[in-house]
């Protein structure tokens, strides 16, 4: 390995490198910075480290020879590379939505806006609900839950009359009586995933509409290994009339951008 791209984010440290001509990816929890440094020293002590992300300086403290690049640029350029590699959406104007610890919205070379609703909210509230902040455990629990046990649905309100909107929509997130002991941690985590997905969908659709584009590309660590969140986001595609593209390696877009960064 001649060089390694690293995206040191708020929740995860993502790594991208080439080995025998193929792109390889690794992920560490952000709290395992020392383990990352140990892996780098053991695996590729001579490799040039190209780092981005909010925790980049923490890695620099252990290795002064690294280069640090702008996070947003790396995310945008890494997405372009992956779109080409995965043969999706070539040369098309699109809104880029990066769902990480929080969520950011990009268009072309500019970050437009962002929200604190993302993976950090999921693990933070998840720890309160389920007593663990382990992301994979929380995702697994959410996949087993029934969010309608926690969410107040439109169908719950219009039980015997015509509903003015789709009955399967959410009337109020976490709107049912939480004193009901039948509402499990799994149900509440499923509802939390729904809340996060709905919020991101609403903001994404409004932003895409303001840009006069129907193409939305979704990336970010919060989508990695989280089919329920993808399902929630995808379920609104026809309702809001946009075209969704999920990148298989999108959780590592920043690291990939750092790896191939060319000043």
Positions annotated as catalytic residues are 71
Cβ density class 69-96: b for 16+ within 10 Å, e for less? bebbbbbbbbbbbbbeeeeebeeeebbb
How far apart (Å, rounded) are the C-alpha atoms in residues 172 and 191? 10
Cα–Cα dist 161/138, whole Å: 37
Residue 252: count of CB within 10 angstroms of its CB: 29
The C-alpha angle with vertex 193 and arms to 189 and 198, in degrees rounded to 5, equals 145
Cα–Cα dist 145/158, whole Å = 24
Tokens coding 204: 């994404």
């Amino acid at each position: 390995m001649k060089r390694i791209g690293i995206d040191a984010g708020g929740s995860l440290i993502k790594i991208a490198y080439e080995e025998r001509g193929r792109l390889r990816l690794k992920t560490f929890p952000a709290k395992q910075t020392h383990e990352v440094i140990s892996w780098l020293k053991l695996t590729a002590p001579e490799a040039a480290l190209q780092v981005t992300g909010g925790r980049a300086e923490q890695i620099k403290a252990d290795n002064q020879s690294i280069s640090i690049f702008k996070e947003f640029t790396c995310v945008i350029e890494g997405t372009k590379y992956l779109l080409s590699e995965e043969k999706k959406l070539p040369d098309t104007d699109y809104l880029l939505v990066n769902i990480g610890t929080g969520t950011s919205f990009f268009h072309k070379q500019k970050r437009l806006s962002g929200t604190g609703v993302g993976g950090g909210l999921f693990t933070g509230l998840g720890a309160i609900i389920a007593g663990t902040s382990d992301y994979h455990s929380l995702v697994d629990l959410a996949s087993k839950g029934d969010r309608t046990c926690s969410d107040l649905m439109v169908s719950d309100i219009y039980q015997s009359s015509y509903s003015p909107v789709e009955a399967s929509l959410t009337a109020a997130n976490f709107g049912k009586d939480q004193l009901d002991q039948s509402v499990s941690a799994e149900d509440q985590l499923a509802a939390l995933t729904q809340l996060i997905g709905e919020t991101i969908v609403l903001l994404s659709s409004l932003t895409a509409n303001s840009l006069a584009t129907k193409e939305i590309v979704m990336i970010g660590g919060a989508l990695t290994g989280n089919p329920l969140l993808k399902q929630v986001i995808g379920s609104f595609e026809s309702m809001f009339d946009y075209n969704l593209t999920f990148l298989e390696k999108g959780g590592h877009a920043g690291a990939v951008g750092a790896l191939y960064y060319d000043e």
